[in-house]
Structure 1
Amino acid sequence: MLLFLILAPIFGAVIVLFIKRSNFVLIRNFSLLWSLILFNSSIYLYLTFDPTTTKFQCTNKIEWLNVANNHFVFGIDGLALLMILLTAFLIPICIMLSWKLKNPLLTKEYVIIFLSLESILNGVFSSLDLLVFYILFEAVLIPMYFLIGVFGSRERKIKASYLLFLYTLFSSIIMFIAILFLYSKFGTTNYLILAMFDLDPFTEKLCWLAFFFSFAVKMPMIPFHVWLPEAHCEAPTAGSILLAGILLKLGGYGFLRFSLVLFPNASAFFTPFVFLLSLVGVIYASVSTLQQVDLKKIIAYSSVSHMGLVTIGIFSNNIQGIIGSVFLMIGHGVTSSALFLAVGLLYDRYGTRVVKYYGGLANTMPLFASCFLLFSMANIGLPITSNFIGEFFCLVACFKINSLIAFLAGFGVVLSAGYSLWLSNRILFGNLKQTSITVFRDLNRKEFALFFPFVFLTFFLGIFPDPIIDIIKSTWLF
């Protein structure tokens, strides 16, 4: 089943490749059906997963570069399973947005990009070989580059796609050098084998830094965040959903999978440094968010703030921190994607993302306003919503390490409440801005169908977190 989830999206993309470009209705319907089959397959993988063991499951080994002792080795634990589930959930949403393309003749390229991304991401999350992980980790950039550069919404899309590509490529080259060093020293890049070896303290710190820069850019942590607001602003709605929902989680996944396991002593040594950057990120991003006028930039900066809490939870290195960081990644993947979907809907209708042109939508679009308010409240960690569990555990974990850092991180959460309430108030309440927008339409059936899964998961994860927590706990022994 794991190999099916890795290879089937590419197979679906190949089928789409041979469908005539003009038959975009068939392309849409087939790709949506295919992505839903993959989602159901990921659910089956979840149902057959054994949460009572910490061993990797569904392991597969394919010979590759055998003379160099490298193989395609794939397997999943609880962390990888949750990331695969989140990917499989978001891809059908992104494909459904192909119905809104201005040029339907580009539907083929659009769905091929997302099916390819699903295949690559499933490979990234299940890869147990550092070299294969690096190749797939970098391969994510190619479809994202074309998604932003071709399907972006404004003239700066080419600059944004280059910024995304160059930032992440150059930072990952340093990690590649560290992988080559580990291979030269131990003769393998197999993750399970490398986890059993120890490095001398100085070498371990250098390797940790090499991996850190690559993952910090992907998170992104301050000051490596410059590419994110640009990429979000220029990306299409589906690109922003996948960027916020999945791609930002690659950094957190890398810290949990590689940094803490392969370099535990260096991780403990650099924990104060990570805490400092994370605190700056939480507070700086929250303050910066209050100064933005573009709806997408507001949500993009809020993502930087939330990822700061994730890294605080990760490097607290206790059970509460691990649970909180992973749960917050899942919760943020749901709520931030929903907010970008809402902003994309407003932009498609009215052609602007500037806050000052909106107001009073609660009077004219009550269904949309209810959904937007729910996701805004979830974004600030309101109890019984998905983000609350993750933020609570991250702060508890940090408090056990350092109460001052926990207090400052909590202050950042208060700031996030400030900008979320400010944004909701400006958009949903007050007087209608009829000078700029004269015709208002609430959600239709198709749009409500897009929002409903996010509404359901926002409440489900906040009220019934145990299924996710049990999967997370199965990955680590404390």
Structure 2
Amino acid sequence: MNHTAMQLLLAAVVVLPLAGALAALFPSRPSPDHHPGTKRSALPLPPGLRGKNPDQAVLRHGVTVTGVVLAASIALAIGFDHDQPARMQATTDISWIPALDIRIHLGVDGISLPLVVLTALLTFLCALYSYFHMPTGPSPKAFVALLLTLEGGTLATFAVLDLMLFFLAFEMVLIPMYFLIARWGGAGKQAAAWKFILYTLLGSVVMLLGLLLIGVKSGTFDMVALATDNGPKDRLSHTVQLLAVLAVGIGLAVKSPMWPLHSWLPDAHTAAPTVGSVLLAGVLLKMGTYGFVRIALPITPEGMQTFAPYLAALAAVGIIYGSLACLALVRKGAKGDLKRLIAYSSVGHMGFVLLGIASMTPTGVNGALFANIAHGLITGLLFFMVGALKDRTGTTDLDALAGTTGAALYGKAPRFGGLLAFGAVASLGLPGLAGFWGEMLAMFGAFQPAAGLSRPAFLTFMVLAGLGTLLTAAYLLLVVRRVCMGGTPHLAPTAPLGSADPAGEDPSGQPAPAPAVPDIARYEYAAWSPLAVLTVLAGLWPAALLGLTDPAVQQLLGGGK
């Protein structure tokens, strides 16, 4: 595919969601086919979205726009020159604010392309799921507009190559996610939304100072120029690099989320609607770790090397902390929330990503990038399923699911139970599935860190990460045992007083049956199957992804020179 076509595809991937968000606010019109008492040709075709009703029209619009963006991202991946994944491709470079030397600079390489496709895929699946199962809340118009704005900001974050544009795109996603949680979320949504926005905004303010420091001291905000040898980054003194990494790293660490700056995440996930949780875990968390790889490693390598042991230590603590928190939630009587448990599991999984980055080796960074994609696929699937389980049973409380609600999914909804168990074993890193490779490579990177880093310290962090994998297996297998296995408990009656005794028996003396749990619906198959299939493919054929990332990582770290 020629360069101009690739340019247009990448520009379309970034711009179409924003244009679609604006179009979602247009008035909706009934389709002529659905106008009672008229023929198709009897009505003019006024501008606006069309459907049986305004809600259906705007939700269909969301599916259409995200579908077109997904198709464009797949075409971009097909047209990508896979023989040169280290080279920036589909580039556009236009002066935007000449006085500050800020440019509209777009491009993708083997590091960013998989994240662009993952973002487009997850957003399309969320739009498709919402078309059939719209979360309770205000107008679908606002929901679809926010969803598309969120997609546009996330795609721009992975595609821009200017530090100021990166910051703007990084910030663009905060407001849509805030409103998705605050307006369409569950219990505690207002407090969770405020906690999310305050944490991430404060981190971003500090990050902006670091980005400005890099740009002012180097004389450019161009990320490609800054990453080259003998380029503008050589104007950055050791002290400036230290200050820049500290400032930029804090903002990225909040979004990653790195312990102890993670505390906004469990509340946000617990309160968010299903699609909000999927996008938050599957896409937004990757923006932080991507920033470490795209900015901190190549632009401020001296500062990164100084802080790498501390980053690795916090990553290792996060792995253990997340696993122990999940074990505490899954035990009987803890009243643990399943959505909250998966949120804490993300703290542990993203700890592996940060550990791989901190090793500053090609093996570790490749593992981090692989784990990013694997976490997006697997945790996205898990949040889809936990949201559907709540819709079916009315709760995500583990004690309720294992007790009075009587989930026992293997017996009541075998396909649902089987897919939930698949997601759990994929998340614990079973060999042959996507979750295995990233975590293994991250630990290999810690086993032999870059020159200048303390090997004994990183060996300690590797051992802690290995312990974390055992704890992860423990709590996820307990989740499967409590939710999917066991008998089918009887549900206490909710009938009027006198129709059943306190023991849960009806007047005939028979226990009241537990409620039925519907198995997977067709639209759920459509939304979830791609994630399950890609989890298997990435696990069986890791070279497809590593072949993209490795040459780019080698060049980024200087290993290819």
Taking structure 2 as the reference length, what is the TM-score of the superposition? Answer: 0.83
Q: CA deviation at 1:68?
A: 1.9
Looking at structure 2, the residues matched to 174 and 104 of structure 1 have their Cα atoms a distance apart, in angstroms, of: 34
Q: Does 1:119 align with 2:119?
A: no
Cα shift readout 1:53-105 (whole Å, capped 9, x = no counterpart): 32211111222111221111111111111110100110111112322225587
1:363-390: CA deviations, max 9, x gaps? 0010001100101000001011111111
- The answer for the alignment partner of 1:232 in structure 2 is 269
Runs of 4+ in 1 over 4 A off after TM superposition: 102-105
Q: Radius of gyration: which is bigger? A: 2
Pick from 328, 340, 350 the counterpart of residue 297 of structure 1: 340
The structure 2 residue matched to 1:408, chosen from 449, 464, 477, is 464
**Contact 1:282 1:306 (8 Å CA) reproduced:** yes
Q: Could you tell me which residue of structure 1 aligns to residue 432 of structure 2? A: 384
- Partner of residue 168, structure 1: 200
Select the residue among 399, 404, 407 that pairs with 2:447.
399
Residue segments in structure 1 that go unaligned for 5+ positions in a row: none
For these two proteins, the number of residue pairs brought into alignment is: 477
In the alignment, does 2:174 pair up with 1:141? Answer: yes
SS in 1 for 2:112: helix
Match of 1:75 among 74, 95, 107: 107
Name the structure 1 match of 2:97.
65
Residues 1:36 and 2:36 are matched in the alignment: no
Distance 2:292 2:215 in 1: 20
**Which AA in structure 1 matches 2:204?**
S
2:241 counterpart SS class: helix
Deviation track 1:404-455 (CA, whole Å, cap 9, x = no partner) reads: 3212211101100000001110000112233265222111212222221121
Q: Distance in 2 between matches of 1:476 and 1:459?
A: 24
Indicate conservation of the 8 Å contact 2:95/2:101, yes or no: no
1:64 partner SS: strand
Residue 470, structure 1, aligned to residue 513, structure 2: no
Q: What does residue 128 of structure 1 align with?
A: 161
Structure 1 residues 434, 92: closer, same or farther in 2, change over 3 A? farther
Query: Counterparts in 2 of 1:52-451, with a 5 A limit?
Result: 52-53=83-84, 54-98=86-130, 99-101=132-134, 103=136, 106-154=139-187, 156-195=188-227, 196=231, 197-198=233-234, 199-292=236-329, 293-359=336-402, 360-401=408-449, 402-435=458-491, 437-451=514-528
Contact 1:130-1:189 at 8 Å conserved across structures: yes
CA distance in 2, matches of 1:19, 1:7: 21
Report the residue type matching 1:34 in the other structure. V
Alpha-carbon distance, 1:11 to partner: 1.7
Amino acid in structure 2 at the alignment position of 1:430: G
What amino acid does structure 1 have at the position aligned with 2:344? Answer: Y
Q: How far apart are the structure 2 equivalents of 1:183 and 1:371? A: 48
Q: Name the CA shift for 1:347/1:68 in 2 (closer, same or farther; >3 Å).
A: same
SS in 2 for 1:55: coil
Kindly provide the CA deviation profile for residues 29-58 of structure 1, in whole angstroms up to 9, marking residues without a partner as x.
232122112111111111111233322111
Deviation at 1:193, TM superposition (A): 2.7
- The whole-number CA distance in structure 2 between the counterparts of 1:474 and 1:11 is 34
In the TM superposition, residue 169 of structure 1 has moved relative to its aligned partner by: 0.5
Equivalent of residue 17 in structure 1, options 11, 25, 46: 25
What's the CA shift string for 1:184-209, capped at 9, x where partnerless? Answer: 32332121233322222122111110
Structure 2 gap ranges (5+): 1-8, 30-52, 330-335, 403-407, 450-457, 493-513
2:139 counterpart SS class: helix
Q: Distance in 2 between matches of 1:139 and 1:32?
A: 21
User: Structure 2: which amino acid aligns with 1:45?
Assistant: L
Superposed displacement of residue 249, structure 1: 0.6
Separation in structure 1 between the aligned mates of residue 395 and residue 354 of structure 2, nearest angstrom: 34
* 2:135/2:273 contact within 8 Å kept: no
Cα separation, 2, equivalents of 1:12 and 1:455: 28
- For residues 231 and 104 of structure 1, the distance between their equivalents in structure 2, rounded to whole angstroms, comes to 17
- Contact map agreement 1:371 1:451 (CA 8 A) in 2: no
Matching residue within 431, 444, 453 for 2:530: 453
**What letter matches 2:142 in structure 1?**
E
Change (3 A) 1:182 1:73: same
Higher helix proportion (structure 1 or 2): 1
Q: For residue 553 of structure 2, give the secondary structure of its aligned residue in structure 1.
A: coil
Output the CA distance in 2 between the equivalents of 1:381 and 1:433: 31
Give the match's secondary structure for 1:58: strand
Distance 1:202 1:186, change over 3 A: closer
